[in-house]
Amino acid sequence: MGSLSKDAGKDAVKARILLHLVSGLVQAVRCRRLSLFEAEKDLKRACSLMTGE
């Protein structure tokens, strides 16, 4: 049961990081600092880093 709570803790941290990342990307696209294509590329890169691919 201890490993389950550790995994849940890691998932919560990853979820929080992704929330901030997505919020920042949305803001950057709205302010026209990033194109949708660039934001999508950055999001895919961030997700691959978090999953270890």
Angle (CA) 16 3 17, round 5°: 10
Could you count the other beta carbons within 10 Å of the beta carbon of residue 27?
A: 11
Cα–Cα distance measured from residue 31 to residue 21, given in angstroms and rounded to the nearest whole number:
15
pLDDT at 52: 81
2-47 pLDDT per residue, tens: 455 667 888 888 889 989 999 999 999 999 999 999 999 999 998 8
Tell me what pLDDT residue 49 has.
86
Q: Based on the structure, what is the number of domains in the chain?
A: 1
Torsion of CA 15, 20, 23, 25, to 10 degrees: -110
Query: How many other C-beta atoms are found inside a 10 Å radius of the C-beta of residue 25?
Result: 19
The pLDDT, as a whole number, for residue 1 is 43
pLDDT, residue 22, reads 93
pTM over 0.85: no
Which residue segment(s) compose the domain that 12 sits in? 2-51
Average pLDDT score over residue span 45-52? 86
